[in-house]
Amino acid sequence: EVGSIPTEVFAHETVCYPSIGRLTEDFHSPYTFMANKALFDAPLDADAPPLYPTLANLHYEKDKHGLLTEQNLLAFYQNPLYMMSDQFVEKFVQVVDNLTPSGPIFPLLKRLKQLAELMSINEISVNENRKNLTKCLCDCWIVEQHTVESKGRCGENKEAHGMAHFLKTTLRPEKVDELNNLLSASRTHLLDERLCLEAQFRSTALQVQWFVIFINQRFMEENRLSAHSPPNLLENAVNSNGRVLLLGALSDLFFHLRFPVLPKRVTDVLISWVQELVCVLYMCCRCEDAQFVLNHLLRLPSPIVDWAPPLVQTFIQAPSHPKVKLDHCITMLSHLLNPITARDSFLRQIGLSEAEDSTWTILSDDDEEGDFSLITINECDLTSLFEQLPISELYSLAYLSFSNSEKGDLFAALIAFQLLLMKVLDTGLSTYCSPTYKLFCKQIGNGDVPFVKRYCMVCSERWIVFGLWQFLVDLPFDCVTDDCRSRCEYVLRSVEKITVSELYDIPLSELVARNRRGGLKERAEAIGPLDSVFLVNTLAAIVSHSHSGPVSFVKEIVEICFCDESSRKSLYKVGGEAVALLLSRKPNIFDQLLIVLDRNMSHMDNYAIDVLTSSDLCECKLSPASLSILGKWLIYKPPDDAANRMARRILSSVYWGMNEAGDQLWLHPSVHEISADTVMKAHSMHCGSSNGMIAKSIRQVSKLASRMADHEQLFNQFCWDILIKLKISSKVDLTAFFIHICQSCLER
């Protein structure tokens, strides 16, 4: 089968990483003698020991804080591959783009592409001929409808009458010659052209497959490889003839993958050969070879997410030196996150096709994203390639690479590595800083989590950075004081920029008053709908830990997330999550929440249902005041109204059982009685068409249920469910006594 390769090629041996040794006390500071001498002599003021003891006697340029400058810090981690990456790209573009590929399989691939184009043209001719043939067959015959009528007497000497209808078909001689010509053309298209082209296509593909097998065998013989050899990354390797032959074949395949509107059959077979050659190449791969493959992938028309990501490897399990693998991964990241040089030149065939054919122009729904073009790399392609180079594995490689150096050098080398990695990721954020790549920027931001978890700064004067608001949600707001939480809330709410000194100059009472005035709507409009989600989540986390009342914040949440027509479409889900977080940590605000919802119910429309979607109401207690609101929604609103549905959601989710000791009800008994009375009144109001179903037997209920509307049936089921949960005592009141009897019957 074309493109097959043994699965054993991907087998790796597990690399056992050395454990981190414990710090020893072998190091003796030169200031120890001075400290001991001070016990007997006059008091002396000794300087603190240097931060890096091994660097104390070396002369490095430092800043005013005593820290190494960037240039001197990078001397502890030198990455020659990264330093030469720009020259590699320039040479790659010059050699690959300016010269027509002329590898060993280029003539065969060119012939394969021509045959595929001829087969596409032949398919069009076959379809057109089939259409004409069908029309001619219909025109060859003249169909006429005839009727025969007969009257007479039957065998019993009675009057009889009969009528018959039939179709008469007449051949048109003038259409026979045309039909003959069309049949001859069909025979030519199907046998002389399609069959011959199919045979040539398969034979050409078979020849290419033979060449691919020959190239793989030669490369494996030169490097003494077998089908079971694991991937390996080499620091230095001779550029042998077999390697040159294999890289040339890959260039030929990538060259033909850049043509527009290739048939799927051709694309699939080209991709299978690329995967087979790259798999063999990675058994004995140089760092330059992996960069060669990645640069080709970055200059292919999108999408390539379905097959290209496995061709980008970190070689983390390879038996290579950790320093080589670390340099390789950093360099691959830089190629991926840097601007793609000459991509439009590599895809000039697609550019010409888009310019000539207007059908290639696909207008985007978003005005900021512009027109769609295959020359522009897809965000999904970038994300899938970036996921092949996980940041977490780089730290393991960095420690293994620097573990043999001295402790001071190890620490400085890790800082230098961190600095270089941050520069590479920052380059990616600057390169793809546009709404089109906002998810990719979030993916890059996730790579920054290990070292940008506590503090991040967005320089909005220079560029807009997407995805950094998400880090604010998980900050430990429960570990700080209430004053600190108030200041954090003010910074998040403020539309104007404020420095730390200006923030602490504001009196705390005025700060709290400013937070209660609102401003959340203006702030959400300023940062956009995507970051507004994280803003609401962060404010909910702060307010839920605050000791002050969250009523003003609840009003703002209801306003912008459920009432405002311009923002509720994008914020109603996070609004429900914020309400759920507040109720989970402050269930005593439930009555105040119901008052706010009651006042804004007419403005929320159907979005009112989403307010409590994520909330757990088991810890929330009902009071007579809250039951009056719920009763108003249940009785005076129809069952399909949002307020009625919310009231049913609340009553169904509240805990109606006993307390932890089991000696009394968790809710006050009066709440149970008022709830029962409310449910009975609501049932009599909305289920009148069912002829008082709640007073019927179970058999009569089943007969009448099929005649009820869906919303009325659901409301009736709700009434029964709540009445069963309620714990009420039997009294002289007929309603309470009836409910008590129903509960007793159902329990039996």
Residue 525 lies in a domain: yes
Confidence of residue 730 (pLDDT cuts 50, 70, 90): low
The model's pLDDT over 444-497, given as tens digits with 9 standing for 90+, comes to 877 665 555 433 443 344 344 455 677 777 788 887 888 888 888 888 888 888
DSSP string, 216-279: HHHHHHHTT--TTPPP-EESS----HHHHHHHHHHHHHHHHHTSTT--HHHHHHHHHHHHHHHH
DSSP string, 464-527: ---S-GGGGTTS-GGGS-HHHHHHHHHHHH-SS---HHHHHHS-HHHHHHHHHT--HHHHHHHH
Identity of the residue numbered 698: I
Confidence of residue 51 (pLDDT cuts 50, 70, 90): very low
* Residue 748: per-residue pLDDT: 52
Residue 263 lies in a domain: yes
Residue 423 lies in a domain: no
Please tell me whether residue 443 adopts helix, strand or coil conformation. helix
Pairwise CA distance, residues 561 & 600, whole Å? 12
Both 606 and 655 in one domain: the answer is no
Alpha helices, DSSP H only, in 306-437?
322-337, 343-346, 348-356, 379-387, 391-402, 407-431
Confidence of residue 278 (pLDDT cuts 50, 70, 90): very high
Comparing 289 with 694, the larger pLDDT belongs to: 289
The model's pLDDT over 154-174, given as tens digits with 9 standing for 90+, comes to 777 788 878 888 887 777 777
- Sign of the alpha-carbon torsion through 58, 60, 65, 70: negative
Which CATH number goes with the domain that contains 228?
1.20.1050
List 233's β-bridge partners, or say none: 285
The region of weakest confidence among 11-15, 168-172, 306-310 is: 11-15
* Residue 290: per-residue pLDDT: 93
Both 674 and 602 in one domain: the answer is no
Both 616 and 512 in one domain: the answer is yes
Residue 348 lies in a domain: no
Check pLDDT > 60 for residue 254: yes
Strand pairing category for 233-234 and 285-286: parallel
Region of 691 please: left (phi>0), alpha (psi -120 to 50) or beta: left
| Nearest one of 454, 613, 466 to 534, comparing CA atoms | 466
The region of weakest confidence among 404-408, 562-566, 664-668 is: 404-408
Both 253 and 133 in one domain: the answer is yes
Greatest Cα pair distance, the chain, in angstroms, is 155
Average pLDDT over every residue of 368-380:
67
Check pLDDT > 60 for residue 641: yes
Comparing 153 with 71, the larger pLDDT belongs to: 153
**What six digits make up the tokens of 21?**
């040794």
Both 516 and 629 in one domain: the answer is no
Q: Which domain holds residue 700?
A: 621-748
The model's pLDDT over 507-535, given as tens digits with 9 standing for 90+, comes to 888 888 888 887 888 888 888 888 888 88
Query: What's the DSSP call for residue 68?
Result: B
* Residue 63: per-residue pLDDT: 62
Pairwise CA distance, residues 284 & 288, whole Å? 12
Both 545 and 640 in one domain: the answer is no
Structural domain count, the chain: 3
The model's pLDDT over 405-441, given as tens digits with 9 standing for 90+, comes to 665 577 778 878 888 888 898 899 889 988 888 888 8
CA dihedral 532, 534, 538, 544 (to 10 degrees): 90
Total residues belonging to the chain: 748
Check pLDDT > 90 for residue 660: no
* Residue 689: per-residue pLDDT: 53
Buried b (16+ CB within 10 A) or exposed e, 677-689: bbbbebbeebbee
* Residue 498: per-residue pLDDT: 82
Residue 410 lies in a domain: no
* Residue 737: per-residue pLDDT: 60
Q: Are 233 and 285 in contact (CB under 8 A)?
A: yes
Placement of tokens 């240097």 in the chain: 50
The region of weakest confidence among 113-127, 138-152, 616-630, 683-697 is: 683-697
**Average predicted confidence (pLDDT) for the chain:** 77
Both 132 and 217 in one domain: the answer is yes
CA dihedral 171, 174, 176, 180 (to 10 degrees): -170
Check pLDDT > 60 for residue 18: no
Comparing 16 with 219, the larger pLDDT belongs to: 219
End residue of a domain, out of 217, 249, 284 = 284
Comparing 622 with 125, the larger pLDDT belongs to: 622
End residue of a domain, out of 584, 600, 620 = 620
Both 632 and 565 in one domain: the answer is no
- The percent of residues above 70 in pLDDT, for the chain, comes to 76
| Nearest one of 210, 215, 201 to 268, comparing CA atoms | 201
Both 732 and 625 in one domain: the answer is yes
Average pLDDT over every residue of 68-93:
83
Pairwise CA distance, residues 275 & 214, whole Å? 15
* Residue 402: per-residue pLDDT: 81
Pairwise CA distance, residues 592 & 626, whole Å? 9
| Nearest one of 292, 340, 286, 364 to 318, comparing CA atoms | 286
The model's pLDDT over 569-626, given as tens digits with 9 standing for 90+, comes to 889 999 999 999 999 898 888 889 999 998 998 888 888 888 888 888 888 888 888 8
Angle at 483 between CA 482 and CA 486, to 5 degrees: 85
Both 588 and 674 in one domain: the answer is no
Check pLDDT > 80 for residue 741: no
* Residue 448: per-residue pLDDT: 62
Average pLDDT over every residue of 318-331:
91
DSSP string, 585-628: H-GGGHHHHHHHHHHHHHHHGGGGGGTTTT---TT----HHHHH
Both 480 and 609 in one domain: the answer is yes
Comparing 735 with 638, the larger pLDDT belongs to: 638
Both 560 and 707 in one domain: the answer is no
Residue 591 lies in a domain: yes
Average pLDDT over every residue of 349-368:
51
Pairwise CA distance, residues 398 & 418, whole Å? 9
Residue 715 lies in a domain: yes
Residue 429 lies in a domain: no
Pairwise CA distance, residues 583 & 594, whole Å? 12
